[in-house]
Amino acid sequence: MGGAASGPAVGGGGTSAAPPASMASGLGDAAAARARLVQRLREDGCRDERVLAAMGAVPRHLFVDPGLAPQAYEDTSLPIGLGQTISKPTVVARMIALMRERTGVGELQRVLEIGTGCGYQAAVLGLVARQVYSIERLRELYDRARENLAPQRADNLRLIYGDGRLGHGPNAPYDGIIAAAGGEAIPAAWLEQLAVGGRLVAPVHDVPSGRQILVAVDRRPDGSLVQSRHEFVRFVPLESGIFDGGVGRG
Ligand code: SAH
C-alpha cells in the first residue's frame, strides 16, 4: 500500500486556535450551548480543566452536517458520513483526559490521533498539545476535515491521509497517541512510536466480553510498556489500508 501523504499545516497563518466569531446555525447561542456541555462533562466526572476549556472552545456544530447542528452539544455520537461517527463529547473528553494522565510531565508535545473523521477531536487536541498529527484513511473525510479545520486557524494541526495502523513514523516518538477506531489488538507501530513517559489510549477488542474496552499503555523510563484497562466503549472498527473514493468498486 502507498505511504502516507502529509499535507501542510491546517491553519492559515494565524496564531490563535480560538473559534470564529460568527456561529449562525439555528442553534441560538452556540457559546451558551458549549457552556452547558462543559457543565455536563463536569457532572460526568471530568476534572481536567485544560480539557474542559478546550471542549468549551471548539465549535462542534461546525464539524457536523448543518442538519445535525442542533444536536451538536448534546452528549451523543453523530454520523459524519461514510458509515463513520463523531464520538460523544463525554468520550472525547474522557479519552483526552486519560491520555494527559501520562507519567511524563509538562505540556504534551507531540500527539498522534488515528482516525481524523470530521476533525473535531483533532481541534480539541490542538488546544491541549503543542503539535498534533492526525491520520485518516478515507480520502473524503480527510478532505472534509481539512475544510472543517481551516476556519480554526490551528497552525499546530497536521492532517495525514494514510493507514493509521502504521502510525506516522516521520514525526515519532509521540508522547500521546489516541485512537478513534478500535481493532483486535494494538498495532505494533503505535507502541514503537510511543515516547518514554508517553501514553497511548485506544479502544481494543476484549475477547472475554466480546466488547471493546478502553486501554491505556504507558512507556516507562526503562522502556517497558505497562497496560491498564478501563471502561467498555463503542467505536467504529480500525480498518486496513486507505480508500480514495471507490473507483472500480461496487
Ligand atoms: N476523531 C474523529 C472520530 C472519527 S470516527 C472525529 O472527531 O470526528 C473514526 C475514524 O477512524 C473514521 O473516520 C475512520 O475512517 C477512521 N479510521 C478507521 N481505521 C483507520 C485507519 N487504519 N487509519 C486511519 N483512520 C482510520
Q: What pLDDT does 2 receive? A: 41
- Degrees (nearest 5) of the Cα angle 166, 172, 174? 100
Question: How does DSSP classify residue 24?
Answer: -
User: What average pLDDT does the segment 76-85 reach?
Assistant: 96
Please tell me the distance from the alpha carbon of residue 140 to that of residue 104, in angstroms, as a whole number: 36
**Residue holding cell 489510549?**
201
- Residue 250: pLDDT over 50: no
Q: What percent of the chain has pLDDT over 70?
A: 87
pLDDT at position 10 is: 72
Lowest mean pLDDT among 7-16, 23-32, 192-201: 7-16
- What structural domains does the chain harbor? 5-249 (3.40.50.150)
115 lines ligand 1 (CB under 6 A): yes
Ligand 1 pocket, residue 72 CB under 6 Å: no
Q: What is the pLDDT of residues 212-234, one digit of tens each?
A: 999 999 999 999 999 999 999 99
pLDDT at residue 248, rounded to an integer: 39
Is residue 24 pLDDT above 60, yes or no? no
Percent of the chain clearing pLDDT 90 (strictly above): 85
Contact 60, 76 (CB under 8 A): no
Burial of 28 (C-beta count, 10 Å sphere; 0-12/13-18/19+): exposed
In this prediction, residue 6 carries a pLDDT of 59
Expressed in angstroms and rounded, the spacing between residue 170 Cα and the centre of ligand 1 is 20
Average pLDDT over residues 116-136: 98
Q: Does residue 186 line the site of ligand 1, with CB under 6 A?
A: no
Atom nearest to 85 CA in ligand 1: 5
Query: Of 87, 209, 228, 240, which one is the catalytic site residue?
Result: 87
Atom of ligand 1 nearest to the CA of 115: 11
For atom 4 of ligand 1, the residue with the nearest CA is 117
Burial class of residue 204 (count of CB atoms within 10 Å of its CB; 0-12, 13-18, 19+): buried
- Quote the ligand 1 centre to 222 CA distance (angstroms): 32
What confidence tens digit (pLDDT) does each residue in 91-100 have?
999 999 999 9
Instruction: Return the ligand 1 atom nearest residue 238 CA.
Output: 19
Report the separation in Å between the CA atom of 64 and the middle of ligand 1, taken as the mean of its atom positions: 15
pLDDT tier at 14, thresholds 50, 70, 90: very low
Q: Tell me which of 14 and 139 has the higher pLDDT.
A: 139
The mean pLDDT value for 203-215 works out to: 97
Looking at every residue in the chain, the average pLDDT score rounds to 90
Mutate to test the pocket of ligand 1, among 60, 80, 84, 140 (most ligand atoms within 8 A of CB): 84
CA of 116 to the centre of ligand 1 (A): 5
Three-state secondary-structure class, residue 182:
strand
Residue 17 above 90 pLDDT? no
List of E strands, the chain:
5-9, 78-81, 84-86, 108-114, 129-136, 157-161, 174-179, 181-182, 194-206, 211-219, 225-233, 236-237
Overall size of the chain counted in residues: 250
22 catalytic? Reply is no
